[in-house]
Amino acid sequence: MGRKRAAEFWQRFRGTFIDEQDLAQISAEGFNHVRLPINWRVIMTGDGRPIDEGLAHIDRLVKWCRAHRLWAVLDLHGAPGGQTGTNIDDSPNGKPELFTDSTCRSLTIRLWQLLALRYRDETAVAAYDLLNEPLPNDYQHAYAADLAVLYQDLTAAIREIDPHHLISYEGAHWATNWDIFTDVWDQNSLLQFHKYWSPPDRPSIAPYLDARDRLGLPIYMGEGGENNLAWVQTAFQLYDDCGISWNFWPWKKLDTITSPVSINAPAGWQRLADYATGQAPLPRDEAWQILTGLLDALPTRRCSYRAEVINAILRRPPLDIPATGFAFRGPGITYQTTGATPRTDFRGDDRVTIRHQTNGTAAAGKIDFHHDSGTPRHPGDELLLHLALGDWITYEVNTLDPARLEITVTVVTDHHPDRRDPALAIAVDGNAILIMPTGPSSSDDDYETIHTTTPLAVPAGRHDIRLTAHATEILISSIRVTPSTAS
């Protein structure tokens, strides 16, 4: 593109990728903070001088946060030299040179002093996230001690200037390895983990819960998402039930169904992608035209808004809940079962029977939760919940406004070889609304759906939906909850 066009591109990109409309929408949806990724190259020169134009981007976002009653977490996503050695930190040589080059280390300390001096009195800034996902893979072992020392040095440098703001420490290996957290380095701090593509259950986060109890520090799930709606609904239910603060990631992305805001790819985008991977040539002027189209597509008002992602995060109807997405508050509150056989690879601490089936037969191996494209499980690949006679299970929804709730439960019919109608009791907030239906609302060869509506509007807020097996055992596939338009 040449330097002139490159400078123009980045100026427009940084000025329009996130604007005040985004912050207003984030606040309106009910979120309380944003996590701002920062590339050191944008705010500091190689000799440690501040770049006013880059810092102005942070100032602007913080101002919007203040205006829309949000907090900002300042996240050093790309540190001098790179903290990961991968493609997420703009490291110049594909190595975590922050830990091998003393100049990079000094620049990082200077950068955090610069930010602390600038925002020490800013109440819209919630925390300083010192390093994003440092030292993945083998680096987590090679430089673990260096990471711990750097964190403590950064803390000391910040506290010389700012005694007030929270400091966030991420573990190594994509923020999942917390072995270095053996002591409390700062009383006004928290520990951060990230979670992608792993089972959304309590055993998967047990080390973080243990560290919280051992050190007495709050914990924060600072990045999670990039999965299908069933995983998102279950994972964020987990965080809320375990008292873990969280941040969905990312808010906006190109041509996606996994983020609330999807940038519509401009004409010719695939040609540019093919050129970038060496698969096809592309004239410079055509490439610039495509990039200009991308810039024009960035404002959220021109993007596709995926409310279903927001609904899954916040468990807000209309919502499809997977049968395995029940709450995490334990026996007697979330469920009551007899003779259950828990799985070892998913929700093994819950005395509930979960069946993984492929085309109607038991699936071999562990359950795969890697659905980064956001697509549901393929047809025939199912996670089902078994309820024996008298067993019950509870799901949670959160309504924005008073409304009657339409509830549709889908059950597997081939679990009833005598074709008896599955007898199910449905209660909302302890009030029975349907007991032992005389027949399904609809059926096909594989499934039956049981449909009911609350007789009265439920108030805005959190509601528990309890399903109880009556007269027969039941194999549940999913629950759909929709605000009713009926009066």
Domain ranges of the chain: 3-314, 319-483
Q: What is the pLDDT of residue 249?
A: 98
Do 319-483 and 3-314 have the same topology in CATH?
Answer: no
pLDDT at 360: 80
The three-class DSSP label of residue 2 is: coil
Which tokens belong to 160? Answer: 């010389």
CB-based contacts of 441-446 (< 8 A; 24+ apart in sequence): 441/408, 443/413, 444/413, 445/413, 446/360, 446/412, 446/413, 446/414
Q: Are 413 and 445 in contact (CB under 8 A)?
A: yes
Report helix angle 307-314 to 229-241, nearest 10: 30
Q: How far apart are CA 147 and CA 166, in angstroms?
A: 19
pTM of the model: 0.95
d(CA 81, CA 1): 25
CATH, domain range 3-314:
3.20.20.80
Q: Are 174 and 86 within 8 A, CB to CB?
A: no
Q: What one-character DSSP code corresponds to residue 368? A: P
Q: What are the per-10-residue average pLDDT scores of the chain (487 residues)? A: 92 97 98 99 98 98 99 99 94 96 99 99 99 98 98 99 99 98 99 98 98 99 98 99 98 98 98 93 94 98 98 98 98 96 97 93 91 88 94 98 95 61 86 66 71 93 96 90 83
The CATH class that applies to domain 319-483 reads mainly beta
Q: What sign results for the dihedral spanned by CA atoms 85, 87, 93, 94? A: positive
